[in-house]
């Protein structure tokens, strides 16, 4: 069994795990900044993505702290679900999928460009990029732990 | 370096960057709001707006008001007391910011009552009953007609006025001014043209006191 407990031997999975955590941390900070500081009210789909993203900071953070490769196992489902929702949100944003499929009416709109764009980049695209990076990094961490 | 420290310092760095971002963003948006109030000074007070208190008061509180907004409801008696306790030094100018669904209808009914001199009575009843008619998922502003039914209004005329072009024009002007002044939440206060950026009753009182001092009214 290859579990780098302690800091004596650098575990091979640590670096990609760190990358995944850093992405989740930056995405969480960014989401909170957009929502709480800039006052862009999160739409329903944004909330679902937040539900997948925010716990990753803690799950992966604890995993990094204890060099526990099992944290990958707990993080991957969250990252996978988040990836799916952000991909769907992006399709809704670009009008490929009709918004009627999801009750976005309450709260702010999932399509409104005013709410959904930060610095010229659609927020769901940022979210999808972050989730993609996290999934890839977690996959790499899993591969390295097995090797 | 110990890997635990890498994690800790990364987290600290992100938190510090976040706090710095909050500082930069807040000061920049305060700047923009002040700038908007300066360049669109004419948009603050229009001749068509309801005024509470001495029309010649030295200090003017402009409130962008939404009859369906809970915080506006809470602030109404506070601002009213401030005006009443100022011995004619402070007046309130009511502007409309119908940000909730159904608020535009509520505003039109209030303005129709105003044309028959019953504005403040109608406003107080509307605010008192706000929880009943302004539920955000199912607003029923038409209920306000029943609330003000016994104020002695010519109801047929009031209903015609509410749908008339004069009130529609007034509301459109207020919405345009709201956008020009970058008011995006209610109540939006300006005191002698200075936007209240950090929201709260104490902050509003402090701003009014500051403007009273400037005006040499104390």
- Identify the residue with better confidence: A102 or B197: B197
Domain boundaries, chain B: 3-39, 43-214
What are the structure tokens assigned to B27, written together? 């000061």
Instruction: Judge whether A106 is closer than 8 Å to chain B, CB to CB.
Output: yes
Give the nearest partner residue to A7 out of B3, B18, B21, using CB atoms.
B3
Conformational region of residue B45, where left means phi above 0, alpha means psi within -120 to 50, and beta covers everything else: beta
Whether residues B11 and A25 touch (CB distance < 8 A) is answered with yes
Chain B residues lying within 8 Å of A65, measured CB to CB: 4, 7
- For B61-115, write each residue's pLDDT tens digit: 999 999 998 899 999 999 999 999 988 999 999 999 998 888 999 999 999 999 9
Residue A3: the pLDDT is 47
Nearest Cα residue in chain B from A65 = B4
SS3 string of chain A?
Answer: CCCCCCCCCCCCCHHHHHHHHHHHHHHHHHHHHHHHHCCCCCEHHHHHHHHHHHHHHHHHHHHHHCCCCHHHHHHHHHHHHHHHHHHHHHHHHCCCCCHHHCCCCCCECCCCHHHHEECCEEHHHHHHHHHHHHHHHHHHHHHHHHC
- Tens of pLDDT along chain A (147 residues) come to 444 444 445 688 999 999 999 999 999 999 999 988 887 888 888 999 999 999 999 999 999 999 999 999 999 999 999 999 999 999 888 878 776 554 444 456 677 666 677 777 889 999 999 999 999 999 999 999 887
- For B114-172, write each residue's pLDDT tens digit: 999 999 999 999 999 998 898 877 889 999 999 998 898 999 999 999 999 999 999 99
Q: Distance between CA A139 and CA A13 in Å, rounded?
A: 10
| Average pLDDT of the segment spanning B162-189 | 91
CATH class given for the domain over B43-214? alpha beta
Residue A77: the pLDDT is 96
Domain boundaries, chain A: 14-146
Instruction: Judge whether B135 is closer than 8 Å to chain A, CB to CB.
Output: no
CA atoms within 13 A on the CB side of B185: 10
Angle at B55 between CA B50 and CA B59, to 5 degrees: 100
Give the nearest partner residue to B2 out of A7, A21, A61, using CB atoms.
A7
Whether residues B18 and A22 touch (CB distance < 8 A) is answered with no
The number of C-beta contacts closer than 8 angstroms across A and B is: 37
Residue B15: the pLDDT is 96
Residue B216: the pLDDT is 77
Q: Topology of domain A14-146, per CATH?
A: Bromodomain-like (1.20.1550)
Are B78 and B202 in contact by the 8 Å Cβ rule? The answer is: no
Task: State the ipTM, two decimals.
Answer: 0.80
On the 0-12 / 13-18 / 19+ scale of CB atoms within 10 A, B31 is exposed
Instruction: Judge whether B2 is closer than 8 Å to chain A, CB to CB.
Output: yes
The DSSP secondary-structure symbol of B49 reads S
Chain A residues lying within 8 Å of B28, measured CB to CB: none
Residue A22: the pLDDT is 97
């Amino acid at each position: 069994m290859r579990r780098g407990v302690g800091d004596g031997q650098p575990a091979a999975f640590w670096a990609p795990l760190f990358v995944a955590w850093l992405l989740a941390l930056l995405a969480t900070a960014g989401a909170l900044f957009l929502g709480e500081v800039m006052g862009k009210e999160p739409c329903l789909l944004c909330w679902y993505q937040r539900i997948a993203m925010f716990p990753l900071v803690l799950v992966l953070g604890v995993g990094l702290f204890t060099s526990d490769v099992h944290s990958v196992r707990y993080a991957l489902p969250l990252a996978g679900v988040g990836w799916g929702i952000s991909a769907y949100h992006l399709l809704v944003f670009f009008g490929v999928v009709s918004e009627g499929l999801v009750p976005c009416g309450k709260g702010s709109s999932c399509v409104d460009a005013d709410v959904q764009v930060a610095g010229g980049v659609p927020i769901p695209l940022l979210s999808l990029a972050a989730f993609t990076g996290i999934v890839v990094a977690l996959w790499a961490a899993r591969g390295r732990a097995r090797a | 370096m110990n890997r635990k420290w890498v994690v800790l310092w990364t987290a600290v760095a992100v938190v510090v960057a976040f706090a710095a971002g909050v500082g930069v963003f807040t000061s920049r948006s305060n700047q923009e709001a002040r700038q908007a109030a300066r360049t669109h000074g004419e948009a603050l007070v229009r001749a068509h707006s309801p005024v509470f208190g001495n029309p010649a008061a030295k200090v003017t509180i402009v409130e962008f008001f939404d009859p369906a907004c809970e915080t506006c409801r809470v602030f109404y008696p506070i601002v009213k007391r401030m005006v009443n306790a100022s011995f004619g030094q402070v007046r309130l100018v009511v502007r409309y910011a119908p940000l909730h669904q159904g608020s535009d209808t509520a505003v039109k009914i209030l303005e129709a009552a105003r044309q028959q001199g019953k504005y403040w009575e109608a406003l107080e009843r509307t605010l008192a009953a706000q929880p009943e008619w302004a539920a955000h998922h199912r607003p029923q502003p038409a209920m306000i007609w029943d609330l003000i039914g016994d104020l002695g209004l010519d109801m047929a005329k009031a209903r015609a006025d509410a749908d008339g072009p004069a009130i529609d024009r007034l509301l459109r002007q207020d919405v345009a001014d709201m956008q020009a002044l970058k008011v995006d939440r209610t109540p939006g206060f300006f005191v002698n043209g200075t936007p209240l950026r950090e929201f709260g009753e104490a902050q509003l009182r402090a701003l009014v006191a500051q403007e009273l001092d400037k005006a040499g009214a104390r």
